[in-house]
Chain A
Amino acid sequence: MMKQHKLFTSIYVVGTGLSIALIMTLFIIFYVKFTPIYPEYNRDRILVIKSVKRVAKKNSFNWSLNHGTTYYMVNELLKDLPHLEACAAVFSGTSWADDGDMITLPDQRNLLVKAKYVNGDFWRVFTFQFLEGVPFTVEETEAKEQLAVISQSLSQKLFATTSSVGEKVLFNGQAFRVCGVVKDVSNATPESAAEIWVPITNNVGVMESYTRDDVSGEVHAFLLAPTSADKKKLREEVLDVINKYNQQNQVYEHEFFGQPDEYWFCTFRTGMDKTVTVWGVLKQYIYMLLAFLIIPALNLSGMISSRMEDRLSELGVRKAYGANNGQLIIQVLWENLLLTGLGGVLGLLFSYLIVFTASNWILTLFDDFIWTPGERVDLTFEMLFNPMIFIASLLFCVLLNLVSSLIPTVWALRNPIIQSIHTKR
């Protein structure tokens, strides 16, 4: 069939490939954002708090909006909740001031590094693989110990080895002792990715806001529930804490925009001042998905319809010999599924090509705001080559095949046997 109808086959395969490539690109983007991958294997148990708006109770025009909460909230207000296993506080700094964190090399050159200021619980919420050493603890964090966990590639860069526990790094002019070396983390997981992690208490800015007993700041909070089922209770407990805090605060009301969020949902909270709704989020993707399916499906349907016209007499003969419509429909669907499958494989390969070549920006394609644009993003084997992606690819192929083949086939088979056979004359 493929040799006989080269043009039909080519257009069919390219059309299917195009559709599958774009659908799978979307799928891969969200697979990387949502599902448990290193070092965020606990994503299904995590609730997240990002932006907080502070409004004066006496004058609603007097407000400020921050892209996080505070270490005070994490360390004082949330820490004893019954359904909280651990609560990570993460301060990533801001890029708007153009100042980055630096490590001074032995030759006095400064190396700009990606740093995260985190608390002791960070290492329980996120599941890092330690190649050597151990993380700093809650107590060491509180004691403002100058300890650092570094990535294996930074260790290699600084000490030409991945065994650097006990070594000193001059981080922002202060000597920090390396207490652990972890497997590299891709920027595809921006909430946990860094080259160096140090106790949050070493950041002057974070600790200044701590003294103001404020809950609007620049720290992202990741709350780990004991089980996925406990998230609901944990969320209620957090909302209760927020309500009580707002009632006690005489000056300000704090708006959390419906947070804490499920981890998957918080990936859509890229702009600060929005109440994100599930339907608002899904709407644009549903439109896109429908377009990716329907437009190529109409294309394919038109071609299948033309081919069915040519094959009417053949189908008529088969019907005359006892084949029923169901059997004929299944035959045509299988024939087309072969081509759809071929297009699906090409499409999947093409989606990998898209994702690899655009890896530095593709994961933030739908974000309203990108704090660190242009960062190098390494996509790992586990992110791209896993059963979920192949199963999804197959399902979309079957769906596309059904959508494109079913109607023209059923229409063609509506003709009586005599009329079908007559078309050959």
Chain B
Amino acid sequence: MFKIIFHQLWNQRRMNGWIFAELLVVTFFLWITVDPICVLTGTRNIAPGYESKGRYVVRLGTYQSSHGNYKEESQNDSLRVSYYYHVARLLRDLPEVESYTIPVQLCFPNSMNWSGGQLFRDTAAISEDKFVHHQFYSFVTIEGSNPFSTYGLKDVRTGEDLQMPEDCTNRVFVSENLARELFGGIDVIGKKVYYSYKGASEIAGVFADYKHFDYGQPYALMISFEKEIVANRWMHWRYPFVLKLKKGVEEKAFEARFRKEIVPQLSIGNLYFSSLKKFSEISNEYSEMTGTNNKYRLQYALVAFVILCIFLGMLGSFWIRCNARRQEIGVMRSMGASQQRIMIQFLVEAVMLVTVAFLCMLPVLFNYVYINGMATSLPGGTMPVLNSAYWMNNFGEHFGVVSLVTYLILLVISLLGTIIPVTRASRVLPAEALRDE
């Protein structure tokens, strides 16, 4: 059968030339269009290292001195701190809330703020400038604030929730990738890490790799603690609150009650309630702002365009081909060939066309991406150490995955475009097909 098909393809090379050229162009275009989708989706699916269900960020605002509601008498530093304590207790004691925390400078997933720095394994490394670049999160520990329980950060060794140390002074927790980059392993509890000014902190625990951006890869992260709230004019921005709801609490009911009953209580001094947002909302907002959602929309639209084009191309091409080969089909049917046999022959022709075009284009694609590079995910920070465990970080695996996805899309769509005219043609009765012979 394959010999016959090869002959057919060669004999009809002029007719096949156009669809073959289209398949070549489409293979190239589809590959570079599918690549970002694969990378974004692959990155999104990397475990985030935290839990987002039932987590809310509460943010406050402060009336500026030019605002009509501004109260001069409330600008006293100790009063402002006491207002914050009041709000912290109010949120902590809500019956729906299991735990809460106060992240310093918006250190929660997908926030617009990203703070990082250099970390050293010992003082000798400082003089040699051998640092590990890391992101840092900091949490205020007042009034029972517990970031581990609230974010759902797990101990990398036990898989259980991390426990807050009794004394947080100069204690830090590090992510698995930071521990490995610094010390080559995760048995690092009790070891010290140093800052460029030679101050040191002791590692109190290691948590699983953590992604600040949903569409970014995990970045080395260190968590430290602050014991106090510091009064300043930006404290409403510096100290938001994160709440974790108890299991079984209906999110919509909580939000409704919060807005109706709690929000009025948050207007205290010059503070006022600004927003209550779920982690998932913040993630979506970030994706909208950074154009990630638009990137998806654009790439999906382009893929849909290509798919429709190739579907129409194969449909038209095989429709004409089937009509031109009615006599041949008639002869085959009269000699006992089943409908299925004829369909298979045409479908194999389609598969061969697609496969040959795809194989011809692969070296071109390889050369193109070798020179221009492939799609990349957000590294999660400015100086990432890319984890080779993720396929998108290995050239070969990356090329393989995207090529496979491209080939499968091409094949399925081409077969769908082929199957309609072929089914119609194979149903024809031999006498009818041979009428013109």
A interface with B by C-beta (< 8 Å):
7-8, 11, 14-15, 18, 22, 96-99, 104, 170, 172-175, 202-204, 270, 288, 291-292, 294-296, 298-299, 301-303, 305-306, 309, 358, 361, 364-371, 373-374, 408
B313 touches A298 (CB 8 A): yes
> What is the CB-to-nearest-CB distance from B386 to chain A, in angstroms, rounded to a whole number?
22
A358 / chain B contacts, CB cutoff of 8 Å: 297
A295 touches B309 (CB 8 A): yes
The answer to whether B78 has its CB under 8 Å from any CB of chain A is no
Chain B 289-311, CB within 8 Å of chain A: the 1/0 string? 11101100110011001101100
Interface centre among A8, A14, A294 (most CB of B within 10 A): A294
The answer to whether B288 has its CB under 8 Å from any CB of chain A is yes
B302 / chain A contacts, CB cutoff of 8 Å: 288, 291
A364 touches B112 (CB 8 A): no
Separation of A368 and B18 alpha carbons in the complex (Å): 37
B59 / chain A contacts, CB cutoff of 8 Å: 98
The answer to whether B375 has its CB under 8 Å from any CB of chain A is no
Given contacts A98-B59, A301-B18, 13 further A-B contacts (CB under 8 A): A7-B316, A11-B316, A15-B312, A22-B305, A96-B112, A104-B68, A174-B67, A204-B64, A298-B25, A299-B316, A302-B15, A302-B317, A368-B291
Pick from A302, A369, A374: contact of B313, CB under 8 Å:
A302
A295 touches B25 (CB 8 A): yes
Interface centre among A8, A170, A173 (most CB of B within 10 A): A173
Pick from A18, A172, A174: contact of B308, CB under 8 Å:
A18
Known contacts: A294-B25, A298-B25, A303-B320. The answer to whether A364 contacts B291 by CB under 8 A is yes
B309 / chain A contacts, CB cutoff of 8 Å: 15, 18, 295-296, 299
B70 / chain A contacts, CB cutoff of 8 Å: 173
Pick from A175, A204, A305, A364: contact of B18, CB under 8 Å:
A305
B291 touches A292 (CB 8 A): no
Residue of B nearest to A301 (CB): B18
B305 / chain A contacts, CB cutoff of 8 Å: 18, 22, 291-292, 295
B interface with A by C-beta (< 8 Å):
14-15, 17-19, 21-22, 25-26, 29, 59, 61, 63-70, 112, 237, 274-275, 285, 288-291, 293-294, 297-298, 301-302, 305-306, 308-309, 312-313, 315-317, 319-320
> What is the CB-to-nearest-CB distance from B350 to chain A, in angstroms, rounded to a whole number?
14
B25 / chain A contacts, CB cutoff of 8 Å: 291, 294-295, 298
B68 touches A170 (CB 8 A): yes
> What is the CB-to-nearest-CB distance from A34 to chain B, in angstroms, rounded to a whole number?
19
B315 / chain A contacts, CB cutoff of 8 Å: 11
Pick from A18, A299, A366: contact of B298, CB under 8 Å:
A366
B66 / chain A contacts, CB cutoff of 8 Å: 172, 174, 202-204
> What is the CB-to-nearest-CB distance from A332 to chain B, in angstroms, rounded to a whole number?
16
Separation of A8 and B320 alpha carbons in the complex (Å): 9
A174 / chain B contacts, CB cutoff of 8 Å: 66-68
B308 / chain A contacts, CB cutoff of 8 Å: 18
Closest 8 CB pairs of A and B: A173-B68, A302-B18, A373-B288, A298-B22, A173-B67, A299-B313, A306-B320, A11-B316
A408 / chain B contacts, CB cutoff of 8 Å: 18
Separation of A292 and B308 alpha carbons in the complex (Å): 12
Interface centre among A288, A299, A366 (most CB of B within 10 A): A299
